[in-house]
Amino acid sequence: EVGTIPYTVTTIGDGAFAGLGLTNIDIPRNVTTIGNGAFANCMYLESINIPNSVTKIGNSAFSGCSALENIDIPNSVTTIGNGAFDSCENLQSVNIPNSVTKIGNFAFAFCYRLTEITIPNSVTSIGSGAFEECSSLTSIAIPNTVTTIGDNAFDSCERISSINIPNSVTEIGKEAFSGCTSLQSINIPDRITDIREGTFFGCSSIEDICIPNSVTTIGDGAFCYCSSLQSIDIPGSVTK
């Protein structure tokens, strides 16, 4: 079933097409907002055209669109809402434009087939669980504009072997890289003061790690079950 939206429409409301059997839909160029859950659980939706008039993709807008394989987000979009593409199980590639400043919580969580994604240097915040259980991702580049990596942001991304955290990052959330079992090397920026609970829990391939002098606190289970860890340098700045 192909959906047609009249050109007079400027906003697609919350849950407008949720759960329908649509296979394709063309969003007209007058639309500026795709509401929360607008196309949630449209399980047969294979393709969608988002025009460059859209500035906001709402929370869970395409959550559960399990047939969707590719998505091109136009450079008019500034906000990708929480859970916007959550559980799009067959999504393989996403283009995030350099207009986006924040990737919402669980925005791409449980996108099991997602193999590549580029985070542009406009992004300052990666939300909690943003890429949780994206188990096909092998690498990801975090730009030096990012200051915050949320809780569980890359939790259980089990194929990522290396990741570079830029010095712009001042906060890494709890369990941010927990269960990244292929991760062999990681750098902790020298602006981090707190390595939180379970940050690298179960990263069983990490062999060595250097903790910068800026760190004062290492949380419970931060390096628990890092079974390949051979050396770790804990600076005198750590008090807990």
**C-alpha–C-alpha distance, residues 220 and 223, integer Å:** 8
Do the strands 148-149 and 24-26 form a parallel or antiparallel pair, or are they unpaired?
unpaired
- In angstroms, the CA 60 to CA 54 distance is 16
| Residue range 69-110, pLDDT digits in tens | 989 899 999 989 999 999 999 999 888 999 999 999 999 999
Q: What are phi and psi of 141, to 5 degrees?
A: -105, 125
Q: Which amino acid is at 159?
A: R
**Residues β-bridged to residue 171:** 148
pLDDT at 121 over 90: yes
List, as one string, the DSSP characters of 205-234: T--EEE--TT--EE-TTTTTT-TT--EEE-
Q: How far is CA 117 from the centre of its chain?
A: 9
pLDDT of residue 3: 64
pLDDT band at 1 (very low <50, low <70, confident <90, very high): low
Task: For 29-39, write each residue's pLDDT tens digit.
Answer: 999 999 999 99
Residues 105-109: contacts with CB under 8 Å, at least 24 apart: 105/129, 105/130, 105/150, 106/82, 106/130, 106/132, 107/80, 107/81, 107/82, 107/83, 107/131, 108/84, 108/134, 109/83, 109/133, 109/134
pTM, to two decimals: 0.93
Copy the structure tokens of residue 181. Answer: 């079992």
Tokens of 172: 């890494």
Q: Which residue has the tokens 């609970």?
A: 197
